[in-house]
Structure 1
Amino acid sequence: MKNLQDTTILNNGVKMPWFGIGVFKVEEGPELVNAVKTAIKHGYRCVDTAAIYGNEEGVGQGIHEGIEVAEISREELFVTSKVWNSDLGYESTLAAYETSLQKLGLEYLDLYLIHWPVDGKYKEAWRALETLYKEGRVKAIGVSNFQIHHLEDLMNDAEIKPVINQVEYHPRLTQKALQEFCREHDIQLEAWSPLMQGQLLDNPVLKDIASKYHKSAAQIILRWDLQNGVVTIPKSTKEHRIIENASVFDFTLTKDEMDRIDQLNQNHRVGPDPDHIDF
């Protein structure tokens, strides 16, 4: 991983950038549009949103403006969205995909995910994703917030294996068993909330390592993600932070430093527990 355009090859042969921008909880409006456009201008090629974020229209506008500013083609970007729990089901998932495309102003998505493993619903939604994939409407399909038993259950009946499992992942929640399972089954792990919503930025271990490299604690975490083979999508709307987050390709953490960060794990979540979904 040498730069922002470096990619991992998913199990269906599609290339996905290791690093991107997330827009969770960024409301529609000029700030959102400018954040996406700015990220693309500074070399980001991966953009992650979801239907439930309520901001697909602004993300789409930012993508179109970013393409123009960066003078690149749509095909050079990797755009992800997700189907929400209330739309899980075969026909409703197909309809949700069309709605997301319309809001984003795009002809296709690079990746479409089931957002949460709602019991009794995700298998029908997966059938819809398989249909979209077979029809060439989406480049790749995957899941989000699936635990090992959810993945096993899905793959028992699935024709197509997920390419991605996007989960909460940070030094307080390393999910080693899940990561190993995904590695064994050639499912790429992707991190949401990699900075634990800012709760780790004053951690003394991370600050100590950061001082050695003249980096921020956030940059150390993001580098740790990448060296663990995890795609990562930090959120920011500030241009200086968007640039800083991506400045993680000019140093390498040692094994000892990686181990020290691993030891921060407490199996602590800032988001919901995927085994107890009530929304």
Structure 2
Amino acid sequence: MSACELGKAQGMPTVPLSNGFSIPVLGLGTSHDGGYSHDAVVYALQKCGIRHIDTAKRYSCESLLQKAIKESGIKREDLWLTTKLWHTDYGYEKTKQAYLESCKRLGIEYLGLCRSIGVSNFLIDHLEQLKEDCRVTPHVNQVEYHPFQRPQELVDYCRSRNIVFEGYCPLAKGEALNHSNIVQLAKKYGRTPAQICIRWSIQNGIVTIPKSTKPERIWENCQVFDFNLEKEDMEFLDSMNINRKVIHLTYPLWKG
């Protein structure tokens, strides 16, 4: 697998971080506005081998995840859990309090306190500013990544600083599933368009976190470790980049 060394944890390939921990290369994303399903999370943990769940305070599902994790029977030490601060929680005391509140809602004793620290939606300029103000280099940068939005300069920058690049929205909010080029590749490999997109992302060395609330889709999204895309097909998918984002953000104003 290109651009990353992979190990194994609970049967799921992992990517090493600069602090010695390893993050599962495939995770389950959650979100607000209907982006959470209790049954789907339990299914992902029990039946699909998912050991990486991504959430955030803003999504308002941390307490719901606590119930799903307990029901799944998966031990805390076997899970990689990511949550995120909201911008109103910036600052040492606020951050610490927000962290403790997230732990309480999730029903866990640690998110590492914090064992691994990441950022989300940071561009090179943001990471350069962070380097001036902070002693810890982020272990992960989580950014939108799919065939229409492949920020390779940012990926390369992160790798030059041993920051693992994590890609969300790998299916471009479903838009990639109907693209004729991706559909054609799916037919070639006997796979689904979703599996082609996720496999492409992982083969590019990206920690990938597709989101779904449907158990059958989660199962489908996890069946990507028994085939490889050929070099010319990887390059073809790479060439589809048009810098088109499907998530529009106000970038973090954390300076000061």
TM-score using structure 2 length: 0.91
Q: Is the 8 A contact 2:118 2:139 kept in 1?
A: yes
Cα drift, residue 156 of structure 1? 1.8
1:191-240 Cα deviation digits (max 9, x unpaired):
11111110111111111111111111111000011001000111111111
Taking the aligned partners of 1:238 and 1:20, their CA distance within structure 2 comes to 15
Q: Is the 8 A contact 2:18 2:139 kept in 1?
A: yes
* Partner of residue 19 from structure 2, selected from 12, 31, 39: 12
Alignment-derived partner of residue 176 in structure 1: 152
Counting aligned pairs with the same residue, the percent is 42
Q: Is the 8 A contact 1:7 1:15 kept in 2?
A: yes
**Post-superposition, which runs of at least 4 consecutive aligned residues in structure 1 deviate over 6 A?**
none
Q: Is the 8 A contact 2:26 2:208 kept in 1?
A: yes
Task: Return the letter of the residue paired with 1:10.
Answer: L
Q: Is the 8 A contact 1:2 1:250 kept in 2?
A: no
Q: Is the 8 A contact 1:2 1:249 kept in 2?
A: no
Task: Return the letter of the residue paired with 2:227.
Answer: F
Residue correspondence of structure 1 range 122-271 to structure 2 within 5 A: 137-271=113-247
TM-score using structure 1 length: 0.84
Taking the aligned partners of 1:6 and 1:64, their CA distance within structure 2 comes to 23
Taking the aligned partners of 1:142 and 1:92, their CA distance within structure 2 comes to 17
* Partner of residue 60 from structure 1, selected from 44, 66, 89: 66
Taking the aligned partners of 1:185 and 1:212, their CA distance within structure 2 comes to 37
Cα drift, residue 25 of structure 1? 2.6
Count of aligned positions: 245
Q: Is the 8 A contact 2:24 2:80 kept in 1?
A: yes
DSSP 3-state at the match of 2:211: coil
1:154-192 Cα deviation digits (max 9, x unpaired):
012321110000001111110010000011111000011
Q: 1:173 to 1:274 in 2, by over 3 A?
A: farther
Computed over aligned residues only, the root mean square deviation of the Cα atoms, in angstroms, reads 1.8
Taking the aligned partners of 2:125 and 2:7, their CA distance within structure 1 comes to 35
Taking the aligned partners of 1:166 and 1:276, their CA distance within structure 2 comes to 13
- Residues 1:75 and 2:77 are matched in the alignment: yes
Alignment-derived partner of residue 3 in structure 2: none
Q: Is the 8 A contact 2:146 2:171 kept in 1?
A: yes
Taking the aligned partners of 1:276 and 1:12, their CA distance within structure 2 comes to 25
DSSP 3-state at the match of 2:178: coil
Q: Which structure's relative contact order is higher, taking Cα pairs within 8 Å and 6+ residues apart?
A: 2
Cα drift, residue 138 of structure 1? 1.9
DSSP 3-state at the match of 1:182: helix
Task: Return the letter of the residue paired with 1:23.
Answer: T
DSSP 3-state at the match of 1:172: coil
Cα drift, residue 273 of structure 1? 4.1
Alignment-derived partner of residue 33 in structure 1: 38
- Residues 1:99 and 2:101 are matched in the alignment: yes
Taking the aligned partners of 2:124 and 2:142, their CA distance within structure 1 comes to 13
Where in structure 1 are there 5+ consecutive unaligned residues?
111-136
Taking the aligned partners of 1:171 and 1:62, their CA distance within structure 2 comes to 32
